[in-house]
């Protein structure tokens, strides 16, 4: 049986990974269990596993702008520590990265080999992590870039929108950022497909397919909740200035999956409908304690 260690198991994606990967003997370590910036601790913790899945990251995009050293410590140096541990134990590594490694100025889906050009500290730190992994353990590392994640656990766009929808008559939602709303449970299944495949290296764009704006995403959520979607109005990014710039285009290409005879990701709307039936709908309940 394949022995899998999920690093960062306390996060939204990490929790789904441990659940979905349980048939292949998955164990999870959260941030309290393992600090990936501690090289010796990472080396010791990763022994005895066939596959390491690293979801641990500094993901506070805006805070990273004023905490650059911390972001790079976790996202670059920490990622390198995990790669070195994977190499030492001859385990495959699957490392989660992000669409923020791109500048967001494209108009067609980004292929995996598109030039990177991050515009934020967060994006730069995640790109540095990709580069550190590739330099340390190129023969055994897979980079899985994802974006616009949501799930049952932790904070996410659906949680924010649905909770706002319970208390506000009107919402303004950005329409000039395009991406791929992605269910963490689908990402977990995609990671599972990589684990059971013979693939040992490369980059895979690990998102649901299709494309949508945040406005489209919010509208779909309101319709699933049975609410009047005319309560949502489109607005622009400029109306909501943030410390870190957001990519205007975060649509990623999935051709790598087909090239390796792996299932192509399904459309974001289909995934969201399943997520809704699987428990996301509870976020729209007025008595929700989630």
Q: What domains are defined for the chain?
A: 4-156+180-210+250-266 (3.40.50.720)
Choosing from 100, 110, 122, 137, the catalytic residue is 122
- Cβ 252 vs Cβ 180: under 8 Å: yes
Residue bearing the bigger pLDDT, 1 or 65: 65
Q: What is the pTM of this model?
A: 0.96
Count of H-run helices and E-run strands, the chain = 10, 12
- Cβ 208 vs Cβ 158: under 8 Å: no
Q: Mark out the alpha helices in 168-248 (DSSP H runs).
A: 184-196, 214-225
Flag the least confident range among 15-24, 106-115, 135-144. Answer: 15-24
* 122 in active site: yes
Rounded distance between C-alpha atoms, residue 54 and residue 92, angstroms: 11
What pLDDT digit, counting tens, does each position of 178-220 carry?
999 999 999 999 999 999 999 999 999 999 999 999 999 999 9
DSSP string, 114-178: SPP---SHHHHHHHHHHHHHHHH-GGGEEEEEE-SEE-SSS--HHHHHHHHHHH-S-EEEE-S-E
pLDDT score, position 1:
83
Give exposure, 7-32, as e/b (b: 16+ Cβ within 10 Å).
Answer: bbbbbbbbbbbbebbeeeebbbbbee
What pLDDT digit, counting tens, does each position of 99-136 carry?
999 999 999 999 999 999 999 999 999 999 999 999 99
**The pair of three-digit structure tokens given for residue 121, joined into one six-digit string:** 């500290």
**The pair of three-digit structure tokens given for residue 139, joined into one six-digit string:** 């023969």
Residue 1: how many other CB atoms lie within 10 Å:
7
Residue 285 confidence class, pLDDT cut points 50, 70, 90:
confident
């Amino acid at each position: 049986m394949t022995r899998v260690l999920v690093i960062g198991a306390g996060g939204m994606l990490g929790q789904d990974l441990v659940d979905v990967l349980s048939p292949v003997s998955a164990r999870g370590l959260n941030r309290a269990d393992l600090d990936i910036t501690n090289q010796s601790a990472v080396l010791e913790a990763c022994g005895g596993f066939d596959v390491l899945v690293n979801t641990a990251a500094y993901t506070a995009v805006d805070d990273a702008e004023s905490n650059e050293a911390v972001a790079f410590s976790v996202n670059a140096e920490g990622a390198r520590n995990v790669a070195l541990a994977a190499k030492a134990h001859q385990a495959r590594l699957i490392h989660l990265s992000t669409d923020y490694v791109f500048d967001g100025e494209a108009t067609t889906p980004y292929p995996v080999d598109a030039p990177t050009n991050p515009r934020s500290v967060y994006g730069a730190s995640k790109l540095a992590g990709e580069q550190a992994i590739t330099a340390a353990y190129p023969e055994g590392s897979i980079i899985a870039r994802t974006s616009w994640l949501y799930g049952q656990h932790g904070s996410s766009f659906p949680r924010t929108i649905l909770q706002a929808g319970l208390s506000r008559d009107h919402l303004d939602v950005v329409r000039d950022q395009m991406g791929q709303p992605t269910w963490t449970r689908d990402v977990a299944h995609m990671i599972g497909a990589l684990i059971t495949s013979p693939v040992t290296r490369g980059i895979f764009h690990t998102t649901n397919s299709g494309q949508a704006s945040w406005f489209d995403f919010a509208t779909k959520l309101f319709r699933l909740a049975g609410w009047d979607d005319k309560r949502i109005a489109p607005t622009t990014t400029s109306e909501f200035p943030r410390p870190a710039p957001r990519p205007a285009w975060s649509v990623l290409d999935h051709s790598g999956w087909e090239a390796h005879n792996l299932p192509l990701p399904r459309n974001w709307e289909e995934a969201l409908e399943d997520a809704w039936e699987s428990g996301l709908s509870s976020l729209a309940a007025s008595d929700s304690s989630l």
